[in-house]
Structure 1
Amino acid sequence: MNDMNTFPPPLWGRLAIEQYFIINWNYSSTETPAQQRKRLVTDFLDEQSFPYAWTEDWDSLPEGVDQPREPTTEEVDTILRPYRSDLLRWHAMTMFYDKICPALLRTHYSADEGERAKHDDLMTHWISGDPFESEAWWAVLDNADLFNFGSAWRRVYEILPEVAGPINPSVDDRLRIQRACEGEYLDCLRSRLKTQLAEAKADTEAWRKDRNAIIDSCAMELQNYATMTYLIIADEEAFLSGSLRVLYLDGFRNIIREGRMDPVDDIFNVIGLWMETDEFLQSSTVGEKYRASAESGRELYQLTE
């Protein structure tokens, strides 16, 4: 396992959020620096796209691509350095290092020392097998001082907006990374969904009884296509039941599907399933915003009565 504490820190300005900070920083703002950074992180995460050049090694960028801007000493000292430690910047720099493995975020730390020790052992068990073990140096987010969020797991984005992905970014013809799925393939999947639903309606009793459940099931290909990243969470329930929470998310941090691993299962199976087939955890259910009647579901499926 790599020890990022022994590496020289990443060069300043090499992370997308750092470019966003220095380009959008307002020295005349009435906000405190911490408030401004927090707002800019939120703004960055809500951007529809960002430059591909912000995520790559500057020396390897092809000709014609605008180079990111080198921050000044003042920008480093005032804007960037106070944001987070070198270790966190290494996690950010190497996030989704293999473009397959998700991050594992621990959000529960018991106040009882005996319980905490048991939970520590369980964490070691969860990350001890392939392929996760070789990626744990960047993927495991386990620090009580930083990530003791309880149920408020989304706070991780304030510290590491890189967790939002996308896990395997695609670059459009403007050399920008899109946060939302797009393209002609969407129309193909929507057409296929309508065909499947037309067939499902033939069973009028089942359709009348729970048509939304049928739509959610038939729409799984579209849900899969819209998934930009996934996240494994070791929350309090995970330590009580042995079942890690798995979230499949769109580019704007909304849950598309979620579930819990079987206690006898392991992370290898979850990662392997996505790596080999792009399939969700079998026990996963549709997230609230992606139900057929919800805003994100309506936008993705584009169904009419």
Structure 2
Amino acid sequence: MEQTLPNISQLTLSIRQTDPNANSDVPEVFPPWGAFPAEQYLLHHWDLPSSEPNQDQRRRLINDFVHALDDIPEEWVLASPTPKTMVIAPQQLRSEIFWLLGASWEIWNQSRDPKWDYQGINIWLRTYYAEDAEEKARDSAKLAAWFESSVEGNPNIDPSIDGTMISWRLLDDELIFNFGTDWERVFEIIPELIGPKSGLSRRFLSDEDSVGKRFREEVFRELRENVALSTGLQEKLITIEGSDNIVQYCSVHSYLLVADETTFTTDELLILFLDLKGHYVRQSRIKVPDDDIFMLGDMINSGKIRDARYWTDDFPPGSSLNPKYRALGEIGRELYGVEDLLRT
């Protein structure tokens, strides 16, 4: 039987279209609007008197939020939030800012909860919609079949329990996600895809954690030693930029599967291995259906992703490094800390 995937409009649940000037409140569902860190950040930093367009202010603040993840207060990041433990802004302020954020944020408010708590579950993002109606329909049918195959046999999903989870794992709505190649724009709508995760699982061990600190020191010391032992600039660059560089792997904290225009002509999803700020570290393509697709989270957590064919340089298709993560790239220059060794 052909699976019919839910449209974005089916995820609005109890969202009410009311006049914000007529004593209206935001929908009272749990978790309520204002519960998650991104929403808390907006509530604390939104400038109501500002002449800046609402959508511009939203994008700017979400970008600021992503770059401030390390400084998010612990009380904003709860492992198992309850009505009693959540720190929520006054209802009047929440209502006013909620209605200023725009339709895309409003519609997806209901889908933030599961993305907040589940880890290791792959999220699919569709960013391409053909102009031709028949082609678009064929692409939709393909995507539905691929998505269904990724659920069947997945040991991490019990359809009898997680039926609702299947609906929010696929971000597919032409009015919201028609980004083309600009897949990063999804973070403006659902910044929870970047983080931080719930309190018991913040993406990186803190600097105060002695085990995490020792591990990081060892990783960077090993990289520096390997670069120093390399002869010639080209060999040093290969050591730094190759897929064996454990610093790259340690920078990955999540991943995203993207169905872009290339996907529908090659039957290959784009895999983006993301860092804490939403930058991709490496990217590759994975043929669908593929048995490994629901094991990506476990492979990242266990370190096995380094040997996977869509990461390692040793087997096709391999992966490509983000230019920002190159030895002298915007991120790599500071991250690797070996620029001085490239001059010798």
Q: Give the TM-score normalised by structure 2.
A: 0.73
**Shift, 1:296, TM fit:** 1.2
- Which of 307, 312, 326 is residue 291 of structure 1 equivalent to? 326
Instruction: Give me the CA root mean square deviation.
Output: 3.1
Q: Tell me, in whole angstroms, the C-alpha distance in 2 between the residues paired with 1:213 and 1:247.
A: 21
- Which of 58, 63, 68 is residue 87 of structure 2 equivalent to? 68
- Which of 90, 96, 99 is residue 78 of structure 1 equivalent to? 96
Q: Tell me, in whole angstroms, the C-alpha distance in 2 between the residues paired with 1:30 and 1:104.
A: 36
What is residue 77 of structure 2 aligned with on the other side?
Answer: 55
Contact kept, 8 Å, 2:226 with 2:239, in 1: the verdict is no
Q: Tell me, in whole angstroms, the C-alpha distance in 2 between the residues paired with 1:245 and 1:41.
A: 24
What is residue 20 of structure 1 aligned with on the other side?
Answer: 41
Q: Tell me, in whole angstroms, the C-alpha distance in 2 between the residues paired with 1:242 and 1:53.
A: 43
Deviations 1:219-244 (A, max 9, x none): 53111211232111110001111111
Contact kept, 8 Å, 2:282 with 2:320, in 1: the verdict is yes
Matches within 5 A, 1:1-305: 5-6=12-13, 8=29, 10-47=31-68, 48-56=70-78, 57-59=81-83, 61=85, 68-73=87-92, 75-83=93-101, 84=104, 87-128=107-148, 129=150, 130=154, 131=156, 135-166=165-196, 168-170=201-203, 183-199=213-229, 201=230, 204=231, 209-217=234-242, 220-263=245-288, 265-266=290-291, 267-277=293-303, 279-280=305-306, 281-282=310-311, 283-303=318-338, 304-305=340-341
Do the aligned partners of residues 118 and 26 (structure 1) sit closer, same or farther apart at CA in structure 2, a change above 3 Å counting? same
Q: Which amino acid aligns with 1:68?
A: V
Do the aligned partners of residues 22 and 88 (structure 1) sit closer, same or farther apart at CA in structure 2, a change above 3 Å counting? same
Q: Which amino acid aligns with 1:117?
A: A
Q: Which amino acid aligns with 1:270?
A: L
Q: Tell me, in whole angstroms, the C-alpha distance in 1 between the residues paired with 2:248 and 2:33.
A: 37
Q: Which amino acid aligns with 2:268?
A: S
Deviations 1:29-83 (A, max 9, x none): 222333322322222122143123223214575xxxxx6233322x233211342
Deviations 1:171-219 (A, max 9, x none): 87799xxxxxx733221101122333355x2xx4xx5555312322265
Do the aligned partners of residues 196 and 171 (structure 1) sit closer, same or farther apart at CA in structure 2, a change above 3 Å counting? closer
| 267-276 vs 189-198, greater mean Cα deviation | 267-276
**Shift, 1:295, TM fit:** 2.9
**Shift, 1:4, TM fit:** 5.0
Q: Tell me, in whole angstroms, the C-alpha distance in 1 between the residues paired with 2:99 and 2:113.
A: 15
Number of residues of Structure 1 aligned to a counterpart in Structure 2:
288
**Shift, 1:162, TM fit:** 1.5
Q: Tell me, in whole angstroms, the C-alpha distance in 1 between the residues paired with 2:65 and 2:11.
A: 26
Structure 1 runs not aligned, ≥5 long: 62-66, 176-181
Q: Give the TM-score normalised by structure 1.
A: 0.81
**Shift, 1:101, TM fit:** 1.6
Q: Tell me, in whole angstroms, the C-alpha distance in 1 between the residues paired with 2:272 and 2:126.
A: 13
What is residue 64 of structure 1 aligned with on the other side?
Answer: none
Q: Which amino acid aligns with 1:277?
A: G
Structure 2 runs not aligned, ≥5 long: 15-28, 312-317
Q: Which amino acid aligns with 1:98?
A: Y
Q: Tell me, in whole angstroms, the C-alpha distance in 1 between the residues paired with 2:124 and 2:71.
A: 25
